[in-house]
Structure 1
C-alpha cells in the first residue's frame, strides 16, 4: 500500500507539472487583443492620445496612500456594522437575524437601504481603491434597456444595451426586466456610463463580452457574465460619433484597454473563452470589487506584454472578491504597475493564485488563501520569465494574510512603505480571518425594488 501511495502521488505531481507547462509557458495563452492597423484611424488615434493624458492625470505617485485609505474605510465599515448589530441585539433581546448585512465599505455605502432603486446614483459615490474617482453616468439621464436583441452593430436599435452604451455624455443604464443578452460582437462602452443590473437578473452570455477602449469613467455593476466567445469582428459602433473596423475579439468577459477610472463591482463571472477580466495598454485607476469568479482558467490578466512598459502607469485594486470553484490561475497575473490585493477569499485554485512578470509591485493584505490538496500547488505566488536573482528584487508583500491547508506566499523585494506612509503610520488591514464576512455577498446581488438589497 505504501509503494502504491507513493506511485499515485508521483504520477499526480507529474501530471500537474505537465499541466503547468502547458498552461503558463505557451505565449499565445497570454495574448490579449492588440489593435491592428485596420482598427486605427484618426478618430481612434485622437481618442488614444486623450485617454493617455487622462491616465497620466489619474496615476498616483504614492499608491500606498490609496491602500492606506481603503484599509481605514474597511475598519470603519466593520466597526459600524458590529455596533449596529450589538444595538439591534440589545433592542430585540435576541440574536441578530436582520435580512441585510453590508460589512465592507463599498456595500455599506448603498446597500441595506429600501429606497436604493429611487436613489441609484448613490452607487456612484461608493467606489474605493484606485477606482475611487469613478462616477460613471452620474448626472446623466437614466436609460432603460427594454430589448435584449443585438442585431445591428453600426446603428443599434433604441432600447437595446448597445444603443445605450454608445450614447454621448453621461448615461445611467438600467434594465426593465430580467433578460439574457447574447452579444453578436463585443460591446463597446463609451465614457461616462454606468451599466447597472440591480433589480433584474441580467445575463450577458453565449456571445461576445464587454470592452472599454480609450475611455474614461465607467461603472459595470450587477451582471452575470458567462460563456463569452471570441467573435470575428467587423464594423462596430464604438461611440456616438464613430464606427470602426474591429478585428477578432478574444472572448474576454471584461476587456479594459487604454482606459482609466473604471469600477467593476458585484459581477458573477465564469467560463469564458479567454479571460474574465483583462486590463492592458496603460489602463489605470481601476477597482475590481465584490465579484464572484468560478470555472475558469486564466482569470485576470493585468498587462499583456513584457515589452509594453506603458503599463508602469497601471494601478489596480482587487478587493472583497471571492475566487471560487474551478479556477486554475491568474487571480491576478500582473506585469509592471502597482496592484493592491485586499481582503479577498481564495477558496480554490489548481495552479497558483497570484502571479506576474516584469517587476510588478503586489501588496497582498488580509486575504484568505486555502491551498488545494495537491502538494505541488501550495504556493500562492508564481513568477514568470525571470530567475530568482532577478525576481528577488520585485516588491511582493504579504501582510495579515491567512494561509490554510499548507498555502504559502513567497515574498520578495524591499518593504512597500515609502514616505509619507511608513509602516508605523499606515493603517493595518483587517486580517484574513474576517474575509468570509467581507466577501459574503460577492457576485451579482438579487436586489428587489422596494426592499433592502
Structure 2
C-alpha cells in the first residue's frame, strides 16, 4: 500500500507546520502559536470558527464539535482576501450546499487529505462571474476523497486549480467543472463513475468586464477513468491554454494512479487522531 504526503509527521501536530504542498505551501499553521478550539457551530462569537479566523496571530484551529445533517451550518467559507491557507484532513459529510467556498480574492490555498461524502455542492471557487478580481485565485487540491458527492469537485471560475492524486467516485452530475476563464490542471486523479458518466463539465458565463461569454479549460494528465467515466475534454484546447504547476512550485508529492492509491485515500483521508503538543497553549 502507498502512503500519503507528510506521513513522517502523522503523530505530531506542530511538526505539520510548513509542510503544505502546492499553492498553500507557505501556510505555517500554528508553528509558534497556540491552539484554538472550535467548540460550537455558531456563525460568530467565542468558540466559533469565525472568531478563530479573525485572530491575527498564528493558530492551529482544532474542531472539538462536528457538523453535518441536522446542524444549521454552511460549511467553510474563505473570504475576503485570505492568503496562504492550508485545510488538511477534514471530514465533511451530509451538507446540502456550499461545503467549501473560496471567493473574493482568496488565494494561495491548499486542500489536502480531506474526506467529503453525501452532500450536494462540494467546493465552489469563485462565487460569481461579476467578481472579476477572482482572477488571482490559485488553489491546490490533492489526496482528497470525494465519496458520493453530487457536484463541484470543484467548480471553478476565473482562477487556477491544480488537482492531483484525488479519488472521486459516484458523482451525481459531474466531477469537475470549469467555468468563466478558469484553468484546471487535473493530474493523476482517479475518477470512478456511478450512474452519471460525464467527468468534466464546462459552463459558459460572461465576465463583467468582457463582451463575450467563455467557459473554462481543463487539461488531464495521467488521470484514470473507471466504470465508463467520460473525460469530455475540449479537443481544441492545447497545453498552452492552461498553466502548468511547475511554473508556480518546483515539487509536489504524487504517484501514478493505482488500486493502492485508492486504498490509501479511502482509509487515510479525513479526520485523524493526532497528538497535541506537549507544550500545549490554548488561545482564549
- TM-score w.r.t. the length of structure 2 is 0.80
Could you list the per-position Cα deviations for residues 312-352 of structure 1 after superposition, in whole angstroms to 9, with x for gaps in the alignment?
A: 10000110000113x11111011011101110011220111
Question: SS of 1:432's equivalent?
Answer: coil
Q: CA deviation at 1:269?
A: 0.3
The counterpart of 2:66, out of the listed 201, 204, 215, is: 204
8 Å contact kept, 1:252–1:278: no
In structure 1, distance between residues paired with 2:124 and 2:245: 30
Alignment counterpart, residue 432 of structure 1, candidates 225, 243, 257:
257
Matched, 1:414 2:238: yes
Give the alignment's TM-score, normalised by structure 1. Answer: 0.52
Equivalent of 1:123 in 10, 13, 16? 16
> 1:381 corresponds to which residue?
200
Question: In the alignment, which residue of structure 2 is the partner of 1:328?
Answer: 150
- Between the aligned partners of 2:53 and 2:251, the Cα distance in structure 1 is 42
Written as runs of structure 1 = structure 2, the 5 A alignment for 1:40-439 is 103-105=3-5, 107-111=6-10, 113=11, 116=12, 120-142=13-35, 145=37, 148=39, 156=46, 160=47, 165=52, 168-170=55-57, 192-197=58-63, 202-205=64-67, 226-227=68-69, 251-258=73-80, 259-325=82-148, 327-372=149-194, 374=195, 377-385=196-204, 394-412=216-234, 413-415=237-239, 430-433=255-258, 434-439=260-265
Unaligned 5+ residue runs, structure 2?
A: 207-211, 278-284
Matched, 1:441 2:265: no
The verdict on how the C-alpha distance between 1:162 and 1:442 changes in structure 2, with shifts beyond 3 A counting, is closer
Per the TM alignment, residue 445 of structure 1 is displaced from its structure 2 partner at its CA by 1.1
TM-superposed deviation, 1:432? 2.0
**1:228–1:308 Cα change, 3 Å:** farther
SS for the counterpart of 1:435 is helix
Q: Note if contact 1:303-1:335 (Cα within 8 Å) is conserved in structure 2.
A: yes
Consecutive unaligned residues of structure 1, counting only runs of 5 or more, are 1-100, 171-191, 206-225, 231-250
Distance in 1, Cα, partners of 2:16 & 2:35: 14
SS of the equivalent of 1:203 reads coil
Deviations 1:202-235 (A, max 9, x none): 3332xxxxxxxxxxxxxxxxxxxx23755xxxxx
Q: Is the 8 A contact 1:400 1:429 kept in 2?
A: no
| CA distance in structure 2 between the partners assigned to 1:398 and 1:315 by the alignment | 18
Q: Is the 8 A contact 2:151 2:176 kept in 1?
A: yes
Aligned partner of 1:208 in structure 2 is: none
Contact 1:228 1:252 in 2 (8 A): no
| Deviation of the 1:275 alpha carbon | 1.2
CA pair 419-300 structure 1, distance change in 2 beyond 3 A = closer
Q: Secondary structure at the match of 1:296?
A: coil
The size of the alignment, in residue pairs, is 264
Q: Displacement of 1:152 after TM fit? A: 11
SS in structure 2 opposite 1:379?
coil
CA distance in 2, matches of 1:429, 1:255: 28
